[in-house]
Amino acid sequence: MNRDAAGFLALAALWGTAFVATKAALADFPPVLLAALRFGAAAATLVAVAVATGRGLRPAGRGDLAPILAGGAFSIGLHHALLFTGQQYVPSAVAATLLGLIPVLTPVAARALRPDDRIDAVGAVGILVGFAGLVLIADPDADRVRALLQATGAARSPAVRARPRPRSAPCSCSRRRSRGSPAR
């Protein structure tokens, strides 16, 4: 097995088990606190690695701080607060599947934020099919509608930040990801 395949399998295993671990942890922690603890630990690890490798933590330029903060607020903070809150009421598998809506909702957010981004007929059909799949998967009854909306909000929050203006990308990794290329 080559290095890329091994990395992909490791990522899939870790990412997939995160939903199960979150569901288990929600028995002991409120959802927003759990999200804060999870990313507080991740931030501490990131700082330690940055200091140990001598890379530093400063943005590349003065104009980079606002996009970094907005990305953190929407793509991490709001996303996980809504996800963990919704995950109290839906199975882990449903929450994981709903996050698959991020690519479905990104064109809608792009259209709202950038009117020059058009959604053609094929794109509109894809969006409708994606939402129809959401309804089939979640099988919402009256008690699950709120959880469904919260989980959908979690899928939408990173989509708001997914199409940055070219000059606002804080690092080359973000620029590659915003163009659809894998980050390396």
Q: Residue 56 is part of which domain span?
A: 11-178
What per-residue confidence (pLDDT) applies to 172? 47
Question: For 57-89, what is each residue's pLDDT tens digit?
Answer: 888 888 888 898 898 898 889 999 999 999 999
In a domain, 3, yes or no: no
Taking residues 33-42, report their average pLDDT.
Answer: 94
| Structure tokens, 46 | 């990131």
Token readout for 57 is 């933590």
Answer whether residue 97 is part of any domain: yes
Higher pLDDT, 60 or 178: 60
Q: Residue 59 burial by CB count (10 A; 0-12/13-18/19+): exposed, middle or buried?
A: middle
Nearest residue to 66 (alpha-carbon basis) of 169, 163, 160: 169
The Cα 79–Cα 102 span in angstroms is: 11
Q: Name the amino acid, one letter, at 120.
A: D
DSSP 62: G
Q: Does any domain span residue 150?
A: yes
Residue 160 domain-assigned (yes or no): yes
- Per-residue pLDDT at 184: 42
Report whether pLDDT(174) > 60. no
The answer as to whether 184 is a domain residue is no
Task: Note whether residue 4 is domain-resident.
Answer: no
Task: Count up the domains in the chain and report the number.
Answer: 1
Any domain includes 106? yes
Query: Count H helices, E strands: the chain?
Result: 9, 0
- How does pLDDT run across 102-161, given as a tens digit for each residue? 877 888 888 888 888 888 899 888 888 877 776 666 565 656 666 766 776 776 666 655
| Average pLDDT of span 40-55 | 91
pLDDT in the model for residue 108: 82
SS3 56: coil
Instruction: Confirm whether 26 is domain-assigned.
Output: yes
